[in-house]
Amino acid sequence: MIQTTKKITVIGAGMWGTALGHLAQKNHHQIRLWSRHSDKSLTEVVTDAQIIISAVAMKGLESLIEQLKTVSISENTIIVTATKGLDPRTLDTPSHLWQQAFPPNAIVVLSGPNLSKEIEKGLPAATVVASQDLKAAEIIQSIFASDLFRVYVNEDPIGTELGGVLKNIMAIAAGVCAGLKLGTNAQAALLTRALPEMIRVGRYWGAKPETFMGLSGLGDLLATCSSPLSRNYQVGYKIAQGKTLEQILEESEGTAEGINTTNVLIKLALSENIYVPIASCVYQLLKGEKSPEEAVQTLMARELKQEF
């Protein structure tokens, strides 16, 4: 199959945006990597782009969307969101924010067990691209797919997105388990119970439960909750070692999206009566309301119930 070269603008020059740019560049696409520190204006790099990839942190997304609304973007331009977070103002997901701002455009979610540092080293990985516009998703699939990066497609963008969003909360909890040296049994129990909690939240948004069993749910959960390369895992690990959240953030390289996501999810869960025991304990940890040991005790002391 002959692949047509695409003009692609990647917004966000952090590790994730850079890794995505390199993957597409290896398939001979024209890549422009942009950040707020770039010499060119945002208008210059997106006006003729056939594909715009957003790899910015959640805190910068709303501002980015507002800037792009002032630019003449073609209705044929595909917008790919690779941001894994929740908006603190609207309590919404990145893909919903993009779709509201650009109704005519195809919005594609990219998410999976994709640790940027491993991808940049050329280690094999897999991901999912999801959209209600299947043709658009298949175009993005062809742009990134290679012998080292396997790309799957599905038509459940919200489920695919939430898998990547919610696992960051669970990664903080997993880091606490590791930091407290609670052992493999505890880690396995945590991850197994994390999955139905993620599915429960997904149902609120209308996601398909089976999506969470795939790469963007279970796959990303396993990768992020077992690797020291995960910034969210590191947050939990360091809290268990006795560091304050303020100290951890000062030392951190990049953004640990799980912190903001936890705050937003708890706000949503309280208003919509969604049962999220693990996220609630992570929230109390981050707020300093409980010690790591007390959080573990809270989870272990919950009312006994059937597994399914």
Token pair in block for residue 104 = 């005519």
Q: For this structure, is 238 an active site residue?
A: no
pLDDT for 114 equals 95
Q: What is the pLDDT of residues 218-257, one digit of tens each?
A: 999 999 999 999 999 999 999 999 999 999 998 887 789 9
Q: Cα(221)–Cα(204) distance, rounded to whole angstroms?
A: 20
Catalytic residue of the set 84, 167, 238, 290: 167
Q: Which amino acid is at 302?
A: R
The helix (run of H) or strand (run of E) holding residue 46 is helix 42-46
Q: Could you tell me the pLDDT band of residue 300, with boundaries at 50, 70 and 90?
A: confident
H-type alpha helices, 180-274: 184-205, 220-224, 231-240, 245-251, 257-272
Provide the mean pLDDT of the chain. Answer: 94
Q: For residue 132, what pLDDT band results from cuts at 50, 70 and 90? A: very high
pLDDT at residue 32, as a whole number: 96
CB atoms within 10 A of CB 260: 18
CB 79 within 8 A of CB 36: no
Q: Within a domain: residue 1?
A: no
The domain tally of the chain equals 2
Residue 136 and residue 186 in one domain? no
Last residue of a domain, one of 88, 122, 155: 155
Range of the domain at 222: 167-300
Q: Which of 124, 155, 186 corresponds to the end of one domain? A: 155
207 belongs to a structural domain: yes
The CATH number of the domain where 136 resides is what? Answer: 3.40.50.720
In-domain check, residue 281: yes
Percent of the chain clearing pLDDT 70 (strictly above): 99
CATH code assigned at 223:
1.10.1040.10
The verdict on 16 and 85 lying in the same domain is yes
Residue 208 lies in a domain: yes
Residues 144 and 176 in one domain: no
Say what the pLDDT of residue 3 is.
Answer: 63
**Residues 149 and 49 grouped into a single domain:** yes
Q: Is residue 236 part of a domain?
A: yes
Residue finishing a domain among 128, 155, 182: 155
Would the pTM count as exceeding 0.85? yes
pLDDT digits (tens, 9 = 90+) for 190-215: 999 999 999 999 999 999 999 999 99
Residues 102 and 221 in one domain: no
User: Are 117 and 206 within one domain?
Assistant: no
